[in-house]
A and B are shown apart, each in its own frame.
Chain A
Amino acid sequence: MSRRARLALFALAGGGLAAVLVIGFTGLPDFGAYHGVYGRIIDGIGVTLRHGTDLITLLNFDVRAFDTLGEEFILFASVLGIVLILRQLRGERQEPHKEEAEEHSFARASAALRTLALGLVPAIVAIGVYIVVHGQITPGGGFQGGVILAAAPLGAFLAGRYLSMKAIAPHLLIEWGDAIGAAGYALLGLSGLVFAGIFLRNYIPLGTPGHLLSGGQLDVASVFVGLEVSGAFLVAWTQFLDQAMLVRGGQQ
């Protein structure tokens, strides 16, 4: 097909798509105009019945907690896939470029910048833990806080110390974190089956709305998800980092 014919086809298809989108979007209700019932029910029961002030976390970890179980295992399975694909193949060997693995610098980063990256590590940990444990009160929760927590050891890597990053977050630890988080969430659901008769039904005391320990299982689920997510991201990143920094050779 010639270039002109392709352009003509694109103009026709693109124009048609644009027209359909314009017709479709102009018929949408305005932002904030909500006619559903589900949202209103959640608005109504969130604080009064479940004692969680962040309704999104309430949805994720209580009302639709079963969906979150599925999402969690999507992440778990995809990280497992990364580990499988990036495993050490025959003929490949781990051999750090000495100057790179022990101490390297990105694009001539200054010592001040690298010190800042290292100094940010505790601050990142604090923010991550805050976001995880306050999931039921303010925006955030296990997933967001988990990724922030996973970014903390990355600070050591950006500061130019890959091997010390591996010392902070060794393979075994992050793999266990990933596995315990995933298993913990499933076990929380099973314990609901045992103590309340329904899978993932809350049986933990609800506490006072707005307090740190409130919302019953919201906090527990948030911590398990945080553990799973930070473990999963760190396992995935370390696999990529090992490939980029350590693994050499192999068939090409």
Chain B
Amino acid sequence: MTVLQVAALAAVALGGAAVVVSPDPLRQVIVLGIYGLSLTVLFFVFQNPDVALSEIVVSTVGLPVMVLLALRKVREQERQREEQKQRERG
């Protein structure tokens, strides 16, 4: 195993842990994207460029867009609910 492969494996191990321990969903999406990039490097140094390409398009484009938009919708609904509560009080 080469140094590059060991480094890529270590990056994936650290990245996976970093995704799990990030508390804020918004930051978690970004960390998830970086983790996806490290997986891409892993697949590439283990000589599988096809899977590396699939991984990079899904983890840096496909998934973050959906999660970010879902987060935005959830926050908007939370804001509306709070506004409604304040209106009922006042």
Contacts and interface: CB of A to CB of B under 8 A. Distances in A.
Interface of A: 30-31, 54, 56-57, 131, 139-141, 143-144, 147-148, 150-151, 154, 233, 236-237, 240-241, 243-244, 252
B36 to A, nearest CB: 13
A244 B70 CA distance: 7
A139 B50 contact: yes
Q: Do most interface residues of chain A lie in helix, strand or loop, or is the interface mixed? A: helix
20 contacts: A31-B1, A54-B50, A57-B50, A143-B54, A147-B58, A147-B62, A151-B61, A154-B61, A154-B65, A233-B62, A237-B66, A237-B69, A240-B65, A241-B69, A243-B69, A244-B69, A244-B70, A244-B73, A244-B76, A252-B77
A56 B72 CA distance: 38
B69 A139 contact: no
A218 to B, nearest CB: 13
Interface of B: 1, 5, 46, 48-54, 57-58, 61-62, 65-66, 69-70, 72-73, 76-77, 80-81
Given A131-B53, A143-B54, A144-B57, A243 B73 contact: yes
Contacts of A237: 65-66, 69
Contact of A139 (B49, B65, B66): B49
Q: Do most interface residues of chain B lie in helix, strand or loop, or is the interface mixed? A: helix
Contacts of B46: 31
A154 B68 CA distance: 13
B82 to A, nearest CB: 12
A22 B13 CA distance: 15
B79 to A, nearest CB: 12
Contact of B50 (A140, A154, A252): A140
A154 B65 CA distance: 9
B52 to A, nearest CB: 8
Given A56-B50, A139-B49, A244 B65 contact: no
A147 B73 contact: no
B70 A240 contact: yes
Contacts of A144: 50, 53-54, 57
A148 B72 CA distance: 24
Given A144-B54, A233-B62, 19 more contacts: A30-B1, A31-B5, A56-B48, A56-B50, A139-B52, A139-B53, A141-B50, A143-B54, A148-B57, A148-B61, A150-B61, A237-B65, A240-B66, A240-B70, A241-B69, A243-B69, A243-B73, A244-B70, A244-B76
